[in-house]
Amino acid sequence: MSKADKQLREADKALSEADKQSVIEAALAARQQSIAPFSRFLVGAAVRTDTGKIFTGCNIESASYGLTVCAERVAIWKALSEGERNFTNLAIAVDTQTLTPPCGTCRQIIWEFAKHADIVMVNLRDERETVHIENLLPRAFDARFLKEVSGKK
Annotated catalytic residues are 72
CA-closest candidate to residue 46, choices 131, 137, 122: 122
Question: Nearest 5°: phi and psi at 57?
Answer: -155, 155
Contacts of 60 (CB under 8 A, 6+ apart): 34, 35, 36, 68, 69, 74
Identify whether the C-beta of residue 27 lies closer than 8 Å to the C-beta of residue 91. yes
